[in-house]
Amino acid sequence: MGMAERLVVIGGDAAGMSAASQARRRRGADDLEIVAFERGRHTSYSACGIPYWIGGDTDGPDELIARTPEEHRARGIDLRLGTEVTEVDPARGRVLARDPDGRETWTSYDHLVIATGAVPLRPPIPGIDAPGVYGVQTLDDGEAVLRGLDRAGVRRAVVVGGGYIGVEMAEAMLRHGLEVTMVDRNDQPMNTLDPDMGSLVRQAMEGLGVKVVSGAAVREVLVGADGRASAVATDEATFPADLVVLGLGVRPGTDLAAAAGLPLGEHGGLLTDRAMRVHGAEGIWAGGDCVEVLNLVSGAFQHIALGTHANKQGRVIGINIGGGYATFPGVVGTAVSKVCDVEIARTGLKESQARAAGLQYVTAVVESTSRAGYYPDAALMTVKMLAERGTGRLLGLQIVGRDSAAKRVDIGAVALTAGMTVDEMTGLDLGYAPPFSPVWDPVLVAARKASDAVAADIRRG
Amino acid sequence: MGMAERLVVIGGDAAGMSAASQARRRRGADDLEIVAFERGRHTSYSACGIPYWIGGDTDGPDELIARTPEEHRARGIDLRLGTEVTEVDPARGRVLARDPDGRETWTSYDHLVIATGAVPLRPPIPGIDAPGVYGVQTLDDGEAVLRGLDRAGVRRAVVVGGGYIGVEMAEAMLRHGLEVTMVDRNDQPMNTLDPDMGSLVRQAMEGLGVKVVSGAAVREVLVGADGRASAVATDEATFPADLVVLGLGVRPGTDLAAAAGLPLGEHGGLLTDRAMRVHGAEGIWAGGDCVEVLNLVSGAFQHIALGTHANKQGRVIGINIGGGYATFPGVVGTAVSKVCDVEIARTGLKESQARAAGLQYVTAVVESTSRAGYYPDAALMTVKMLAERGTGRLLGLQIVGRDSAAKRVDIGAVALTAGMTVDEMTGLDLGYAPPFSPVWDPVLVAARKASDAVAADIRRG
């Protein structure tokens, strides 16, 4: 028998460990040695779950860990915690890693999986690193926020950023009984939606008692006499804060890859082919929050940090390293979230994204109910659809509502993947029964109106 | 200006009145006279809502009426209630109608819409017409059941039939505090599912306290000394009943069409083209529960009585009569229901349907949670997928679960319409966030397992 190949994984979270697990399922330890380096203390945890842990919806942090280091090791993965890879040497097929004792060692690889994740954005403003300013990226961050909440006299929270993490953390702070201010540089919260849909989120958040400050750039975190953050200042105003939460999004964690000369896209993420091989790099694969993904609707690459993509990409990598064949075809930009009982969903392109992609479109916005109007708990939802001029191809779907609204976006996600027109969508055989939908599902109502808009636009010429 | 054309509609419910309304939106009263004959007292009501009205989830009957006779008349539709069409004369383009006073009059048409609905199945057994035996097809039926429930000493209900109406009515009877027995000739309730999935429904119903008697044909309804139904007898046993509910499904209401020599399919429904014109019949359209629909997965016609199809077909007819162009492409067989908190959904073909269509398939069954496992209210659901041998094309999807399970079937409905393979489905960009889905949506987990099953089957050869 020949010598085993070695798979080296950098990053012990979703993408990296999914790749390792899949490869292990297909190739035994005699055939494939697997070494995984993780600079932190945890593996395979749900960063998306941190706001719900902080908000008290779920226990943590153990509950957020899908698979522990011990479980990975039991499956024959040589996992090195607290060990940071400091250099990748593609020419010689090896990586340099520093272990917890500070020792640096080269490890050679036949296959390398780069799954270095994302780095939270932290604007370089005064006070940003003061005690009392918290990120929500890691389990350690989550514990730190909870300790911060336990301090005496914590009454006011300022959440910086109005995206997914921002609105989820605003809810979490509300649940701790805090006065919550959300400061966001965009005109409306949830900038992944069009402004008209984002304004519905704003109304909902204001209805919950959140003070929403839009179009406001944070200039400074003021620090009190105790050395802790005491307020957040914008150009226009200062917002007192006993606790500051940063939810400003992330950038791809590709410093290591960049230093190794690996190809990065315009958003700073690694560029791969559909099999998740890094372009032009022999034996190197990448997945998760450190890569750019093809948006199948726009035809452009973008950076989206989302656990579901990381898991899928890791699985694809592991199957391919394992001797099978799989591809990650790309994304359509689906995302769902909620703030208290308000559900928020989007897929495809919003208006500004469609314009940026050179696509012309018509829009339709409708209001309909989640269930038959006469059925208990039927609640209004607003559905917006973008369709391409002329062809009527679906380009995007956005939903804001209060009851079984968000997951309806999956209808749009599949239709986008299939390249359906909004007219074709009007005929979709969606599930109907009074407890689950009006006789015309809200998505069908939107498709009808969008189809009419496409036709009217054609008539106008 | 020339003389107006006349549109005659037979049947004042979903399909007929949708057609009338759409035609009216496109053609004014000067251009199109619209006469609609309805033999009953109501228009445009939700028959699907009747079990929820009886169960007390919603008020009725007014709440179940989407549009009243007065509203239709206000839109310029000459609606004749209590007026039954007794003959269609396609050769001379006219219909004979008997008004509430018994007068019969011929009315000529340029366009005729046949929307005569469905007829509840009533097996020709002794006692079936006794007082205390109820259908649940019309609003009058609903009122009759509620009056039956108000009688003194009503304690035991027997529901005959284990399909959608049967399980919904079993729940309604439970809500009135009755002891409920469901007698069904099939091996498992919900015969629109495969038996292994139907057995989950059985377990759930038994858990709710319903006595489920399967594989049992009803031979007789026994009548007590008071002349009312007192028990339901099968070959094996007799089940005492203070109230008997028939939920045995329906057949197309096409006696009138058959007498006129119009073409019926093997299930007794009218046959139309995609524009909903009756085959070979000049100026005659048909829609709703009286037609057969093309199943896009099997390629065969079938009869499905469902309000959402009726509404879509009526709209298509109205657009076409109105001078526009629309088609009803067919169905994929989607249906959702629930019994208490158990959600039931299916789309595409079940195993026996696939076999009947000459299709060979592999199956995958998985259990997964509705939300991230650590998120509150996450509940197990069972997902079954059928994929075609060799090609891996999705053939069917069935779901039974307790929390946001049913509407996930829409993912399958769109994928079936698009002709996707289960392998393609593994890459679908479905909405993920802990309150809405595990990082792998249950449908994706099923697609992965089905994709593996397709590959394993190919390897076996």
Instruction: Mark A2-36 as b/e (b = at least 16 C-beta within 10 Å).
Output: eeebbbbbbbbbbbbbbbbbbbbebbeeeebbbbb
Give the closest-approach CA distance of A264 to chain B in angstroms. 23
CA distance B437 to A160: 26
Nearest-CA distance A2 → chain B (Å): 26
pLDDT bin (cut points 50, 70, 90) of residue B240 is very high
pLDDT at A2: 59
Kindly list the residues from chain B whose CB atom is less than 8 angstroms away from the CB atom of residue A347: 429, 431
Give the mean model confidence (pLDDT) for residues B340-360.
97
What is the distance between the alpha carbons of residues B99 and B97, in angstroms, rounded to a whole number? 6
Q: Which of A95, A97, A81, A98 is nearest to A39 (CA)?
A: A81
Catalytic, A290? Answer no
- pLDDT of the residue at A461: 83
CB contact under 8 A, B439 and A404: no
Q: Which residues of chain A have pLDDT under 70?
A: 1-2
pLDDT score, position A1: 47
Tell me how many degrees the CA angle A216-A269-A406 measures, rounded to the nearest 5.
Answer: 60
Q: Residue A439: list chain B partners with CB under 8 A.
A: 14, 46, 48, 66, 307-308, 311
Quote the CA–CA distance of A166 and B152 in Å, as a whole number.
59
CA neighbor of A318 nearest in space, from A1, A12, A13, A17: A17
Cross-chain residue pair A418–B418, CB shorter than 8 Å: yes
**Which residue segments constitute the domains of chain A, with CATH numbers given?**
5-118+251-321 (3.50.50.60), 133-248 (3.50.50.60), 335-460 (3.50.50.60)
Q: What is the DSSP letter of A91?
A: T
Closest residue in chain A to residue B345, using alpha carbons only = A431
Residue pLDDT, tens place only, B376-428? 999 999 999 999 999 999 999 999 999 999 999 999 999 999 999 999 999 99
pLDDT at residue B1, rounded to an integer: 47
Q: What percent of chain B has pLDDT over 90?
A: 98
Tell me the chain A residues in contact with residue B415 when contact means C-beta distances shorter than 8 Å: 414, 418
Residue of chain A whose alpha carbon sits nearest to that of B378: A58
Q: For residue B243, what are the β-bridge partners? A: B157
Residues 6+ apart with CB under 8 A from A445: A366, A368, A383
Give the pLDDT band (50/70/90) at residue B36.
very high
When CB atoms are compared, the residue of B404, B415, B417 closest to A404 is B404
Cβ atoms B386, B354 nearer than 8 A: yes
pLDDT score of B2 = 59
**Mapping DSSP to helix (H, G, I), strand (E, B) and coil, where does residue B42 land?**
coil
Residue with tokens 């000369």: A261
Name chain A contacts of B311, Cβ cutoff 8 Å: 439-440
The mean pLDDT value for B204-220 works out to 97
Instruction: Spot the catalytic one: A5, A31, A48, A211.
Output: A48
Nearest to B164 by CA among B339, B294, B13, B404: B339
**A252: closest CA among A303, A217, A299, A203?**
A303
Estimate to the nearest angstrom the gap between the alpha carbon of A22 and the chain centroid.
Answer: 23
DSSP string over A383-447: EEEEEETTT-BEEEEEEEESSS-GGGHHHHHHHHHHT-BHHHHTT------TTT--SS-HHHHHH
| pLDDT (tens digit per residue) in B311-331 | 999 999 999 999 999 999 999
Please provide the average confidence, as pLDDT, over all residues in chain B. 96
Question: Is the bond preceding residue A61 a cis peptide, omega within 30 degrees?
Answer: yes
Distance (Å, whole) CA A331 – CA A255 = 24
| Residue contact B335–A431, C-beta within 8 A | yes
DSSP calls for B236-281: S-EEE-SEEEE---EEE--HHHHHTT--B-TTS-B-B-TT-BBTT-
Give the SS3 label for residue B292.
Answer: coil
Residue A355 contacts by C-beta under 8 Å, 6 or more apart in sequence?
Answer: none
| Res B461: pLDDT | 83
Name the residue in chain B with its Cα closest to that of A65: B374
CA nearest to A326 within chain B: B423
What integer is the mean pLDDT of B168-183?
Answer: 97
Q: Are B364 and B388 in contact (CB under 8 A)?
A: no
> Which amino acid makes up residue A166?
G
